[in-house]
Amino acid sequence: MMDEQRRAPGSEAAVPTRSSLRPLRAHAFKEIVAGLLTVASVRGVLVVSPDGLVITASLPPRSPVEALAALGATLGRELEVGSARLGRAPLKAAVFVADHGTLFVGASHVGFVIVLGDGSAPVVPIRSALIDALDRL
């Protein structure tokens, strides 16, 4: 497949067109999801828009994709609003721990990256991998 490109006015350099960037962005999202899934104890990953629409996801069978996306986006937005109200730095990543699993929410310019860990998920390595993934978005 050949990327569409055009020449910038007064330049010899080819500039990617808008339509050629779309597959690259989708590929980047999928690479981020695949990379996070390699971290120990990670069970699933979603990339969602700020309003909770699923951009891409990889979850165990029978997982409630839309509900997890909505929950992650709602938690992310509430944390962003709360940190702004308190005059704190913007949310980068948050961790929610329960008996049966761990939910990590990371904020990015496209929305939120949500990582699901099992009940014994090691918080530090997963949070570190999430922050690295957010830096690549």
**Percent of the chain surpassing pLDDT 70:** 83
7-63 pLDDT tens trace: 555 555 555 555 555 567 778 889 999 999 999 999 999 999 999 999 999 999 999
The answer to whether the beta carbons of residues 101 and 123 sit under 8 Å apart is no
The domain defined by 12-136 carries CATH number 3.30.450.30: yes
Buried b (16+ CB within 10 A) or exposed e, 113-125: bbbbbeeebeeee
The per-residue pLDDT for 6 is 47
The per-residue pLDDT for 17 is 54
Sign of CA dihedral 65, 66, 67, 71: positive
List the structure tokens of 137: 């978005």
